[in-house]
Amino acid sequence: MDLTILLFLVQDGITNGAIYALLGFALVLVFAVTRIIFIPQGEFVAYGALTYAMLQGGHVPGTAYLLPIFAFVALLFDLYAERSRITGTFLLRQGVEKIVVPLALLLAARELAGVSTIASLVLTVAIVSALGPHLYRIAFQPLADRSVLVLLIAAVGTHLALMGLGLVFFGAEGQKADALTDFSVDLGPLPVSGQNIAVYAATVLLIAGLYWFFERTVQGKALRATAVNRLGARLVGIRTKGTGKIALALAAGIGAVSGVLLAPMTTIYYDTGFVIGLKGFVAAIIGGLASYPLTAAAALAVGLIESFSSFFASDFKEVIVFTLLIPVLLVRSFASKHTDEED
Amino acid sequence: MKFKFSIAAAACVAALGLSAAVVKAEDGVLTVGATLSTTGPAAALGIPEKNALTLVPTEIGGLKVKLIVLDDAGDPTQATTNAKRLINDDKVDVILGSSTTPPTIAVSAVAFDAKVPHFGLGPMPVTPGKERYTVIMPQPVPLMAAGIFDHMKKSGVKTVGMIGFSDSWGDLWLGQFKAAADKYGLKLVADERYARADTSVTGQVLKLVAAKPDAVLVAASGTGAALPQSTLRERGYKGLIYQTHGAVSQDFIRIAGKAAEGVIMASGPDMLPEGQPDSALTKAPGLALVAAYEPKFGPRNQFAGHPWDAFEVLKRVVPVALKKAKPGTPEFREAIADALITEKDIGASQGVYNFTATDRYGVDERARIMLTVKDGKFELIK
């Protein structure tokens, strides 16, 4: 093993680690706001990657059709829940949110498929992140006040359902997208591709964006307040139902961005998202499902360990990565005071 | 009057029959049941197989073909349930399935107990003494491996690096390599593993490149086989790259792109019937399959060939069995099992079948072609 190989492995580890960090953030975010351990995060990655690859190839992706269907079901849920106090403004808002926007995105996907990389990119993020709130409305909002365990079971169910829909809409074969750019610079012996740079840039930008959102905007603060104390937040007039939808929209958006970044690097199948999401999950767990900086550090560590173990002991790579969890959980369970979850 | 009465009676019986969900064997109908993995991890195999079943003949030897297709999601337990349902409720004459090894073994066990002829669509080991009712359509792995090792020897390859899936497919090929290495004068210098869902194989490929093998064998399947192919070329590996028949598909070329050029693959003959000599028994069935499949379902693949070939075999054995017994009877199923052995040189898209009482694969070198990729298209290696 010489310096060149070391550099390659480090670069590979950091690239993967950056993507795991994004997924870890999404998991921490969703858990903090809604208490859902969000297993389907990986599906958003797969949906993002496959949607992007299909748009780039000039096809209309299945998610563009899935969105209006999801939105319509969510609309039925809302109409039923609010059946005794339906007003004009309510109908108008619902109509715009759940009929006009999804159909506009579908139309845009049909018109803009294969036109340009930028259009595919924007559309992918728009379509996939729009799925998030409707998914929350259908699968989680009716259970919002239940225990973490019930929410976890709902999350597993959602994961299985989304994976099945992925097979229906994208087919069983994998897809790979073209790189964002052919740009490449050499750092000594190490070629750094434009794709790598895009991954680092997207991660840094998203971290900065999330920081700004949570520190500087009212909605971000409302999300944080809900995360700290749900009841208290409601007492001061925050709509906690709305925060769940925002959290899932953000999570879906982050998933879509990760997917777009991954799509040119590897082949993505309808069911690959789960394992990738699981590695983000390892990072989020090491971060205690609460700390963003710890999650980011842990994600980079997971990426690096994965990269080095794929060099030294490729048959045991997954074993090594997932075994990491055991000592971390042990230390955490000894270090933290046990509290009942339903206070 | 009598005539009307019989119609009414028949209608009543039919209605009763339907309501009781008991299917009685109909005269002049050949009932074929299939359990395929059209969802789950093996969906990439099960879906083309299901597609091919929409193209098979609707009539064989004067019998109408009634086809029942179930999904087992690649799960042996579900495959067992499906097989029992097809045999007990639908009274099938022949059973097909499943798409991969574990559920195929499960179906084979049920078929043996019920004495129903079974066409396996996934390669499986045959238990001595229990082989009478099962024949297997896909080529056995040693046959395909021999083609690859033979090509290595002819090309003067001495050292080989392997990178394979960290599952039974990777293990199987490693086993093949170790068993045959001495015979072909090959030496294994690196053995790396990866998973289909991996986002990168940089680590494994760096180690392979550092070991400087004359050739690299990628033991993977589907489009997942493209990742090492392109990473090896990106990292400057100049030697020969071999791929197994699990990787041969248009999608592989689409995803590996330029890196696919010059790859050497063992394949079933249905991937390129056009390039075969007219004397090849695999040419006509292969051309027929491709002509029927491609306009409807897109690019050809190796999996669609297996159920298609099961029907090519049925076209030969059913007329023979019909001379002895009527469909829907145990005697008919025995007659099919006998005819599978007595009929020789059954030409099909994926090979020429000569089943014997113990060789249930029944194929020879004619079930294998060697392919390379040139200018984004498959080409036959003579």
* The predicted structure's pLDDT at residue A26: 93
Exposed (0-12), middle (13-18) or buried (19+): which is A343, by Cβ within 10 Å? exposed
- Whole-angstrom Cα distance, residue B47 to residue A104? 32
DSSP B362: -
Of B166, B195, B202, the CB nearest to A307: B202
Is pLDDT at B1 greater than 60 in this prediction?
no
Residue B204 near residue A310 (C-beta atoms within 8 A): yes
User: CB of B301 within 8 A of CB of B270?
Assistant: no
Beta-carbon contacts of B382 under 8 Å, excluding residues fewer than 6 positions away, are none
Strands (E), chain A: 184-187, 190-193
Q: How confident is the model at residue B2 (pLDDT cuts 50, 70, 90)?
A: very low
For A111-156, the pLDDT digits (tens) are 888 888 888 999 999 999 999 999 999 999 888 888 899 999 999 9
Between CA B330 and CA A168 the distance in angstroms is 39
CB contact under 8 A, B39 and A19: no
Starting at the edge strand found earlier in the chain, the sheet holding B240-243 runs B187-194, B159-165, B215-219, B240-243, B264-267, B369-374, B377-380
**Contact yes or no for A260/A126 (Cβ under 8 A):** no
Spell out which residues of chain B touch residue A53, defining contact as CB-CB under 8 Å.
Answer: none
In chain B, list all ranges with CATH 3.40.50.2300: 26-139+302-367, 141-267
Which residues fall within 8 angstroms of residue A248, CB to CB, at 6 or more apart?
A30, A34, A132, A133, A135, A136, A140
Instruction: Give the pLDDT band (50/70/90) at residue B17.
Output: very low
Q: What is the rounded distance in angstroms from the CA atom of residue B368 to the CA atom of residue B131? A: 24
Percent of chain B with pLDDT over 70: 93
Higher-pLDDT residue of A181 and B160 is B160
* pLDDT tens-digit series, residues B238-273: 999 999 998 898 888 988 889 999 999 999 999 999
- Average pLDDT of chain B is 89
Which stretches of chain B sit within 8 Å of chain A by CB?
39, 41, 43-44, 46-47, 166, 192-204, 206-207, 210, 222-224, 226-227, 249, 251, 254-255
Q: What is the dihedral of CA B121, B126, B129, B131, to 10 degrees?
A: 20
Residues of B whose CB is below 8 A from A267: 223-224, 226-227, 255
Does the pTM exceed 0.95?
no
Q: Does residue A266 or residue B14 have the better pLDDT?
A: A266
B312-323 pLDDT tens trace? 999 999 999 999
Rounded CA separation B219/B250 (Å): 18
What per-residue confidence (pLDDT) applies to B6?
52
Is residue B5 scored above 80 in pLDDT? Answer: no
Q: Which helix (H) or strand (E) holds B302?
A: none
Phi, psi angles (nearest 5°) of residue B20: -85, 0
Q: Which residues contact residue A227 at a Cβ distance below 8 angstroms, ignoring those fewer than 6 apart?
A: A32, A33
Nearest-CA distance from B228 to chain A in Å? 10
According to DSSP, residue B22 is labeled: -
**What pLDDT is stored for residue B250 in this prediction?**
86
Q: Phi-psi bin for A171: left (phi > 0), alpha (psi -120 to 50), beta?
A: left
Query: Closest approach of chain A CAs to the CA of B193, in angstroms?
Result: 5
pLDDT digits (tens, 9 = 90+) for B345-359: 999 999 999 999 999
CATH number given to B141-267: 3.40.50.2300
CATH number of B26-139+302-367: 3.40.50.2300
Q: What's the pLDDT score for residue A123? A: 93
Number of CB pairs, chain A paired with chain B, less than 8 A apart: 94
Nearest-Cα distance to chain B for A192, in Å, is 12
Mean of per-residue pLDDT scores for chain A: 88
Chain B: nearest CA to A8, how far in angstroms? 8
Distance CA B350, CA B367 (A): 6
ipTM, two decimals, is 0.77
Under the banding of pLDDT at 50, 70 and 90, the label for residue A292 is confident
Contact B204 A266 (CB under 8 A): no
Measure in Å the smallest separation between the Cα of B85 and chain A Cα atoms. Answer: 24
The distance in angstroms from the start CA to the end CA of chain B is 72
In chain A, which residues touch B (CB < 8 A)?
A: 1, 5, 8-9, 12, 15-16, 19, 164, 167, 171-176, 262, 265-267, 269, 271-272, 274-276, 307-312, 314-315, 317-318
Mean pLDDT across B222-227:
86
Q: Cα separation of B54 and B308, whole Å?
A: 10
Smallest CA–CA separation between A313 and chain B, in Å?
A: 8
Span B265-307, pLDDT tens digits: 999 999 999 989 999 999 999 999 999 999 999 889 889 999 9
**Does residue B110 have a pLDDT over 70?**
yes
- pLDDT given at position A204: 92
Size (chain A), residues: 343
Contact (CB<8Å) A315/B193: yes
- Residue A184: pLDDT band (50, 70, 90) is confident
Nearest to B43 by CA among A270, A42, A267: A270
CA pair distance A50, B133, nearest whole angstrom? 43
Confidence band, pLDDT 50/70/90 cuts, at residue B21: very low
H-assigned helices in chain B = 2-19, 43-53, 76-88, 101-114, 141-154, 168-184, 202-211, 226-234, 250-256, 283-297, 305-322, 330-342
Tens digits of per-residue pLDDT, A146-178? Answer: 889 999 999 999 999 999 999 888 888 888 888
Cβ–Cβ gap A269/B198 under 8 Å: no
What integer is the mean pLDDT of A315-328? 87
Q: Which of A1, A163, A176 to mutate to test the interface with B (most CBs of B within 10 A)?
A: A176
What's the mean pLDDT in A90-100? 87
Of residues B39, B197, B206, nearest to A311 (C-beta): B206
Kindly report, residue by residue over B33-64, the tens digit of the pLDDT: 999 999 887 888 899 999 999 999 999 989 99
Among B233, B224, B273, which residue's Cα sits nearest to residue B378?
Answer: B273
Report whether B259 contacts B233 (CB < 8 A): yes
